[in-house]
Amino acid sequence: MTVGYARRYAPLVTMPPSAAPALADVTASDAALRRFLHGLPGVDAVGLDARAAALGTRSIKTTAKAYAIDLAISMIDLTTLEGADTAGKVRSLCAKGRNPDPSDRTAPSPAAVCVYPDMVPVAREALAGSGVLVASVATAFPAGRAPLEVKLADVRAAVAAGADEIDMVIDRGAFLSGRYLKVFEEIAAVRENCARVSGGAARLKVIFENGELATYDNVRRASWLAMLAGADFIKTSTGKVAVNATPSNTLVMLEAVRDFRDATGHQVGVKPAGGIRTTKDAVKYLVMVNETLGDDWLSPHWFRFGASGLLNDLLMQRQKLSSGRYSGPDYVTVD
Ligand SMILES: O=C[C@H](O)COP(=O)(O)O
């Protein structure tokens, strides 16, 4: 790909005119982009871990807990990404998305059901009229090892089949070898394909696979790179490697979206994914969002949990709060 390709897509980044010129130049060449990303302040890893741990110890009142549980449910991308997925499994996950707690119709629905591209038509049909979105991983998820044209075809097929949101993986090999412009151009190209096929409606989440990026500095660089290329959301992980979302790597990303909005006026969402299974963990993340970003990000439009098992625990805790006792796992459907 050429620098011209990057220039072609850079204007798609919807920054306010007052802020755009300041950052437009940083994607003009490989060298300019490297200079910019390596000029970002380094992350103090010890301080970061301490901050994330301290935020994780905050307790919240029972009334706030009920609110937090419903908010967390509404922020879930209810996910199944297994090689063994069947249409039947996807349909039953969608039924759960439509009506998470059959014993209590006041339980909110998750934001989206997230599936592989070939399962999008099944999910689209099963969720019709429910308000629950269809999200799909694409770009040769989870490794991202395919030629760009194959990745773009994957994206176009998922959007054409009815995906409201695309979760793409970055090329970690290119990123780790310093070929930042290649990563930028791929994200911009995916964004353009999403926009073209969906008429601008499909939102793009960009997955870094933090567990493979080795340092918090790299997570910060990947965050800025993806936001410059037009990501609507930045997402920690695929859920397929040893280290997935952690409070610390998510905090780096929360700080990045805060700083990006300060610099450009443009707001980007955050999605921790992989390994988040308990209400306690979800509440920790919500406290972190509240303390770092405030109310502006406390909605499913701007914050998501990518999770396969979290919904069940939230539903059990929700039942406990309303009835005073645990119903036990038999009262929530097993995925
Ligand atoms: O994006 C979501 C992840 O793939 C789900 O990971 P999990 O099964 O650890 O919740």
pLDDT grade, residue 324 (50/70/90)? confident
pLDDT at residue 188 above 50? yes
Q: How far apart are CA 312 and CA 73, in angstroms?
A: 10
Task: Give the dihedral of Cα atoms 16, 37, 254, 116; nearest 10 deg.
Answer: 90
Atom in ligand 1 nearest the alpha carbon of residue 235: 1
Q: What is the pTM (predicted TM-score) of this model?
A: 0.92
Tell me which residue has its CA closest to atom 8 in ligand 1: 308
C-alpha 223 – ligand 1 centre gap (Å): 20
Give which of 179, 170, 171 is closest to 34, Cα–Cα: 179
pLDDT digits (tens, 9 = 90+) for 227-284: 999 999 999 999 999 999 999 999 999 999 999 999 999 999 999 999 999 999 999 9
- Tell me if residue 61 is catalytic: no
Task: Give the position of tokens 């429910």.
Answer: 130
pLDDT of residue 331: 58
Average pLDDT rounded to a whole number, residues 189-198? 97
pLDDT of residue 60: 85
> Is 250 touching ligand 1 by the criterion CB < 6 Å?
no
**Phi and psi (nearest 5°) for 330?**
-65, -20
Tell me which residue has its CA closest to atom 2 in ligand 1: 306
From the list 96, 205, 235, 284, the catalytic residue is 235
> Is 239 touching ligand 1 by the criterion CB < 6 Å?
yes
Output the DSSP codes for 193-225: HHHHHHTT--EEEEE--HHHH-SHHHHHHHHHH
C-alpha 28 – ligand 1 centre gap (Å): 36
CB 5 within 8 Å of CB 189:
yes
Domains and CATH numbers, the chain: 3-326 (3.20.20.70)
Output the DSSP codes for 164-175: SEEEEEP-HHHH
CB 266 within 8 Å of CB 16:
yes
- Tell me if residue 167 is catalytic: yes
Tell me which residue has its CA closest to atom 4 in ligand 1: 239
pLDDT digits (tens, 9 = 90+) for 15-63: 444 445 568 889 999 999 999 999 999 999 999 999 999 998 988 888 8
Average pLDDT rounded to a whole number, residues 211-229? 97
C-alpha 275 – ligand 1 centre gap (Å): 6
From the list 96, 151, 271, 284, the catalytic residue is 271
From the list 77, 167, 281, 313, the catalytic residue is 167
Output the DSSP codes for 247-307: HHHHHHHHHHHHHHHHHHS---EEE-BSS---HHHHHHHHHHHHHHT-GGG-STTTB-EEE
pLDDT of residue 61: 85
Atom in ligand 1 nearest the alpha carbon of residue 308: 10
pLDDT of residue 58: 86
Complex prediction ipTM? 0.96
Pocket test for ligand 1, best of 75, 78, 81 (most atoms within 8 A of CB): 81
